[in-house]
Amino acid sequence: MSLPLEGKVAVVTGGSRGIGAAIVERLARDGADVAFSYSNSKERADQIVAKVEAHGRKALAVKADQAVAVEVQDFVRTAHATFGRLDILVNSAGVFITGHVADEAADLAAFDRQIDINVKGVVTAVRTAAPLLSDGGRIVSIGTTGADRIPFPGVGDYIATKAAVQAYTRGWSRDLGARNITVNVVQPGAINTEMNPEDAGHADALRSLTSLGRYGQPEEVAGAVAFLVGPDAAYITGATLNVDGGQIA
């Protein structure tokens, strides 16, 4: 049976945990060889490599700090050189730093690093990948529904980074459209990850904001990404796809 991504090579930033890890495994299950970056745990990265290989695909794990442009560039170029092509880029790496705008004790260095990872890191990955991508390639970035709806105070800095990615997505879709490269953003709502577990103290409040009354799972976000990078989404670009259980606020 032919797989939808058979013969394709995917690059995923931040692919060793949470949503990123689910994306790596789903793309491999759909037939792609996958290179992914990780920031700290080689043990976690090795576990994801084993899962990719269990699907009969090739895997490459590269340690790279998403906040350091040269490391992002080296990761993308190494993936291309190793596999000989690049068809899919998924920008999944990100951090979530909160704080009230009037807080005089705010860690401004942490907010700056958030911009470096969530915005500059994505920009660097796309700029590096663009000339290497096959015509008809795919770019998907992971955003947040907060870019459209602010659920609570103290998240302005984080949401601004994801809103920037949403705007870049529309712009890049125009830049790359002549090569039939699509560029889209997937915006998760409340997803069960280590950063936002479904049994956390605030989880009931987040569940109450959804039509389905539950948290999503990383695999459900990965399914949306798999659709956008697959053959059935060739005419979708510059779009935002919310995976949020019908979030109402």
Read off the pLDDT of residues 27-73 as tens digits, 9 standing for 90 and up. 999 999 999 999 988 999 999 999 999 999 999 999 999 999 999 99
Which whole number is the average pLDDT over 123-146?
97
Element at 185 (helix H, strand E): strand 182-188
Give the tens place of pLDDT for each residue, 146-202.
888 877 788 999 999 999 999 999 999 999 999 999 999 999 999 998 888 888 888
Residue found by looking up tokens 């919310």 in the block: 242
Pairing of strands 240-243, 138-142: unpaired
Cα–Cα distance between 156 and 150 in angstroms, integer? 8
Report the C-alpha gap between 133 and 154 in whole angstroms.
38
Whole-angstrom Cα distance, residue 66 to residue 61? 14
What is the rounded CA–CA span in Å between residue 224 and residue 58? 22
What tokens appear for 27 in the block? 């793309």
Active site residue 158: yes
DSSP assignment letter at 246? S
Q: What is the pLDDT of residue 28?
A: 98
Main-chain dihedrals φ then ψ at residue 99, nearest 5 degrees: 165, 140
Catalytic site residue from 158, 168, 215, 235 = 158
